[in-house]
């Protein structure tokens, strides 16, 4: 008994010595610092989805997802144009993040448990920027009006997306048999659908809406009323870098909080003037939000006026939405769930305190 515990004591100094010889784990530099020192935000987008991310014939990137990249660049770097875009397919997007090829993903990506968790894709999701759901598009002259009408018919879907499993879950539950053909790219899928290789195309409703807007005869196609799934689309960063994830998250919250308070791209400078030395100079909450007092930005490693920078560059969330998905666009989608909570929607920013 005595010898045993003596032996244990004899071994202790050796263990301590070994432990102190081991090199301390290298401290990881947050992507926030890397983005700042690179002077550029590397943002992964689709680039093929009008309304969300799309490259114009002049080579400019545009869309709601693109404006989220621009807002982050404005908040972190002071310039919305300091973004390097990478076009990614559904299958490429997560590897691009985990390999460090991009700093953030802003590409109609559904937040799911498997993608969020360390045992899955290991992402850190920012707030949802578009509440979507999976839909089904058919040719109007097919006479099909609901899922039951698609019994034993063929669906076209994109590989590497949430679509396939959702379709399977719903059809199994409803006891409807069907066939599935999968495609790597949206162009392949659209081509096959238009050529009649499948009776229905299934994808996020936003995506079907964008595709249809680009068809020669959009009116010849209908998106069924049935919604097969919840597809909360959110930007993402890599897991394990909470400083960077927090910065991206609060820029998105800032765009939504600005809408809640009626702060727009058009009135942002007046709002700052009013909170600095005008009507709102006693309004501590708005002064904090605009970075005139307090250190909310600094807490995140951002300039205190990071929300001002973002809103000046791209407008508040509602303005971004209207620019790309509003009634005057070919990709119009009624706001519905994507309205601010003040108008009965789901977008709600936590307090800037």
Contact residues for ligand GSH, defined by CB under 6 A: 46, 48-49, 89-90, 108-110, 158, 161-163, 186, 203-204, 207, 231, 233
Min separation Cβ 60 and ligand GSH, Å: 17
What the block records as the tokens of 45 is: 């987008």
Q: Residue 285, exposed/middle/buried by CB under 10 A (0-12, 13-18, 19+)?
A: middle
Least gap, CB of 262 to ligand GSH (angstroms): 31
Residue whose CB is less far from ligand GSH, 224 or 268 = 224
Q: How far is CA 338 from the centre of its chain?
A: 13
Of the pair 204, 319, the CB lying nearest ligand GSH is at 204
Nearest to 228 by CA among 278, 279, 163: 163
204 or 259: whose CB is closer to ligand GSH? Answer: 204
Token duo for residue 223: 């998106």
Shortest distance, position 108 Cβ to ligand GSH, whole Å: 5
DSSP 3-state of 282:
coil
Contact 93, 108 (CB under 8 A): no
Min CB(22)–ligand GSH separation in Å:
41
Q: Which is nearer to ligand GSH, 156 or 307 (CB)?
A: 156
Q: How far is the CB of 11 from ligand GSH (least distance, A)?
A: 53
Instruction: Please state the closest distance from residue 27 (CB atom) to ligand GSH, in A.
Output: 33
With respect to ligand GSH, which residue has the nearer C-beta, 48 or 335? 48
Using left for φ > 0, alpha for ψ between -120 and 50, and beta otherwise, residue 160 falls in left
CA distances from 52 to 61, 170, 208, 211 (A): 10, 27, 12, 12
Minimum CB distance to ligand GSH smaller for 46 or for 316 = 46
Sign of the Cα torsion 292, 295, 296, 299 reads positive
Rounded to a whole number of angstroms, the minimum distance from the CB of residue 201 to ligand GSH is 9
- Quick check: 71 and 255 in contact, CB under 8 A? yes
Closer to ligand GSH by CB, 46 or 338: give it: 46
What span, in angstroms and rounded, lies between the C-alpha atoms of 123 and 191? 32
Report the nearest approach of ligand GSH to the CB of residue 51 (Å): 11
* Smallest separation (angstroms) from ligand GSH to the CB of 322: 22
CA 182 to CA 164: how far, in whole Å?
9
Considering the complex, state which of residue 233 and residue 292 has its C-beta at the smaller distance from ligand GSH. Answer: 233
Pairing of strands 236-238, 200-204: unpaired
Q: What is the 3-state secondary structure (H, E, C) of 245-303?
A: HHHHHHHHHHHHHHHHCCCCCCCHHHHHHHHHHCCCCCCHHHHHHCCCCCCHHHHHCCC
Element (H, E) at 42: strand 41-45
Task: In angstroms, give the least distance from the CB of 184 to ligand GSH.
Answer: 9
Q: Do residues 206 and 108 lie in contact, with contact meaning Cβ atoms separated by under 8 Å? A: yes
What are the contacts of 274-282 at 24+ separation with CB within 8 A? none
Nearer to ligand GSH, 187 or 295 (CB): 187
Nearer to ligand GSH, 47 or 297 (CB): 47
Contact between 168 and 161 (Cβ < 8 Å): no
Name the strand (E) or helix (H) holding 154.
strand 154-158
Largest CA distance in the chain: 91
């Amino acid at each position: 008994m005595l010898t045993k515990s003596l032996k244990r004591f004899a071994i202790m100094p050796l263990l301590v010595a070994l432990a102190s010889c081991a090199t301390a784990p290298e401290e990881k530099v947050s992507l926030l610092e890397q983005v700042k020192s690179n002077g550029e935000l590397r943002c992964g987008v689709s680039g093929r989805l009008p309304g969300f991310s799309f490259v114009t014939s002049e080579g400019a990137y545009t869309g709601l997802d693109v404006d989220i990249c621009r807002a982050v660049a404005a908040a972190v770097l002071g310039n919305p144009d300091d973004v390097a875009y990478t076009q990614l397919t559904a299958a490429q997007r997560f590897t691009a993040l985990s390999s460090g090829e991009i700093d953030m993903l802003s590409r109609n990506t559904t937040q799911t448990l498997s993608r969020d968790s360390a045992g899955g894709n290991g992402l850190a999701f920012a707030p949802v920027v578009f509440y979507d759901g999976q839909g089904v598009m058919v040719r109007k002259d097919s006479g099909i009006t609901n899922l039951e009408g698609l019994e034993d018919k063929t669906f076209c879907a994109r590989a590497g997306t949430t679509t396939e499993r959702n379709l399977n879950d719903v059809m199994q539950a409803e006891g409807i048999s069907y066939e599935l053909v999968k495609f790597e790219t949206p162009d392949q899928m659209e081509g096959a659908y238009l050529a009649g290789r499948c009776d229905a195309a299934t994808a996020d409703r936003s995506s079907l809406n964008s595709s249809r807007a680009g068809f020669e005869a959009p009116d010849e196609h209908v998106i069924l009323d049935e919604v097969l799934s919840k597809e909360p689309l959110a930007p993402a960063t890599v897991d394990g870098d909470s400083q960077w994830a927090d910065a991206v998250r609060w820029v998105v919250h800032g765009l939504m909080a600005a809408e809640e308070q009626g702060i727009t791209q058009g009135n942002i400078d007046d709002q700052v003037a009013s909170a600095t030395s005008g009507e709102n100079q006693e309004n501590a909450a708005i002064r904090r939000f605009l970075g005139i007092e307090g250190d909310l930005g600094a807490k995140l490693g951002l300039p205190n006026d990071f929300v001002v920078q973002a809103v000046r560059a791209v407008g508040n969330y509602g303005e971004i939405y209207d620019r790309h998905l509003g009634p005057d666009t070919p990709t119009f989608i009624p706001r519905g769930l994507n309205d601010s909570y003040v108008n009965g929607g789901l977008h709600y920013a936590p307090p800037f305190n």
